[in-house]
A = this chain, B = another copy of it.
Amino acid sequence: MKVKVCIINIGNELLLGQTVNTNLSWIGKQLAELGLPVSRSITIQDEPDAIKSTLAEEWKTNDIVFVTGGLGPTDDDLTKACIAEFFGKNLEFREEVWQSVQFLFNRRNLKTPDVNRSQAMVPQDFEALLNKVGTAPGLYYKENGKSLFALPGVPVEMKHLYTDYIKDILAESYTPEPVFIRVLHTWNITESALAEKLKGLKPPQDMQLAWLPQTGRVDLRIYGTNESSVTDFMGRIYKIAQDVVWGVDDEKPQDVLQRLMIERNLTLSVAESCTGGLVQELITGIPGSSKYFAGGIIAYSNGIKTDLLNVKQETLDQFGAVSIETAREMAFGIRQKTNSTISISTTGIAGPDGGTPEKPVGTVCFAISDEKQTISRILVFNGDRKSIRWKAAEYVILLLIEHVRRKV
């Protein structure tokens, strides 16, 4: 029988858009890895009626219910009282919780404010999970094989209580199905063209294949209960789609690039116009990138293109700053200036202004230059300024990966 898991997140700030709910994705990932994937999640306001009615509904239909948020010591923290009322339990004072709260203040040479005494009140028959990084204890209740966990909304406290208590409780109380998740990352193909390519390939019954469109590319997620059949199925997809697969699992394009460049003892420089530093920001975001990345130039104005990258004025006059010809000279120029073995360049129109009928907003030119050749591309991306820049930056990194792989 499949264990049903629900997460209830309480907090106006989540619904007003002031805070992104990273607690759901964090708990969701942990539970999926444990073999207890979340069935559904509900976000509600800090209001007693909403808390109690949602709790009633979800406790009826699920085996495990998580509640996060509203456990602080101030007036707008209502969760604990609502839970006690729903289960018909009185709140009782727990000395060990009070000791644990005082310890946190003593450690910082502070007197414990009286308002924190409320943190030591725990519903009868509930276990208090002592919080080592904050004042609100976690709460755990078990009844007829069902479990309720209430956790503070502050991510660092929630993660501590899950990791140090709840994970073990769940592993002992339930016999989760093992779960295996693999991801294939593709590029240079639309979701529909990839679907066309993989037509006829259906996942076996105990496995799910999910299509996850990212900005400008598609990921395929395989989810199943048997490790070797998940890997087999991934292999079957890879065989058909290998020309558009650039990486697996948690890899980002810049991770794959870094591994390849260091393996092959290559160094890189970058000349960017429309991407304005994003390509180099992605590259240098990875620790150890200085092992292959030398540096580069953001040539936003034409003056910098000519003065620092040696792009010819006549090239700019004849073909324009957004042209294959300018991209090629930019890539060649930065490689010469920095003595790197390979270089890449971007120049384009990120918008919202600057488009023309021949070169609409989203037009971006790319070049790769090495000691043997210069190759170039021109593409038109859809979207707003931010997504055009993002797609262009990822595209040039993926193009470079393909180029380096071909070099062998």
Using CB atoms and an 8 Å cutoff, list the residues of chain A in contact with chain B: 12-22, 24-32, 37-46, 50, 54, 72-77, 104, 107-108, 110, 113-116, 132-135, 154-156, 160, 181, 183, 190-193, 195-196, 208-213, 215, 221, 223, 270, 272, 275-281, 283-285, 287-290, 293-301, 303-304, 307-308, 337-339, 351-353, 360, 379-380, 382-387, 389
Contacts and interface: CB of A to CB of B under 8 A. Distances in A.
Contacts of A37: 15-16
Given A45-B40, A382-B133, A212 B301 contact: no
Contact of A192 (B14, B113, B213, B281): B113
A72 B73 CA distance: 45
Q: What is the count of identical protomers in the complex?
A: 2
Contacts of A295: 297-301, 304, 308
A22 B20 contact: yes
B196 A156 contact: no
A102 to B, nearest CB: 12
A289 B210 CA distance: 39
B24 A213 contact: no
Contacts of A110: 190
B337 A308 contact: yes
Contact of A283 (B104, B134, B276, B307): B276
> Which 6 pairs of residues, A with B, have the shortest CB-CB distance?
A17-B29, A276-B284, A277-B277, A277-B280, A17-B28, A277-B281
A325 B238 CA distance: 52
A43 B21 CA distance: 12
User: Which residue, of A134, A193, A284, A337, has the highest number of chain B Cβ atoms within 10 A?
Assistant: A284
A280 B276 contact: yes
A216 to B, nearest CB: 10
A152 to B, nearest CB: 8
B296 A211 contact: no
A154 B210 contact: no
Given A14-B24, A15-B39, A113 B196 contact: yes
User: Which residue, of A77, A114, A191, has the highest number of chain B Cβ atoms within 10 A?
Assistant: A191
A81 B338 CA distance: 56
Contacts of A116: 192
B45 A43 contact: no
B19 A385 contact: no
Contacts of A288: 353
A114 B199 CA distance: 12
B39 A41 contact: no
A269 to B, nearest CB: 8
A283 to B, nearest CB: 7
Given A28-B16, A276-B280, A297 B294 contact: no
Contacts of A307: 337-338
A287 to B, nearest CB: 6
23 contacts: A15-B28, A16-B29, A17-B27, A17-B28, A17-B32, A21-B24, A74-B195, A77-B211, A113-B190, A116-B192, A132-B382, A133-B383, A156-B215, A275-B281, A276-B281, A277-B280, A278-B281, A280-B298, A287-B352, A288-B353, A295-B304, A297-B308, A308-B338
Contact of A104 (B24, B74, B195, B382): B382
Contact of A223 (B16, B20, B211, B223): B16
A112 B225 CA distance: 36
Given A20-B25, A74-B211, A298-B284, A115 B195 contact: yes
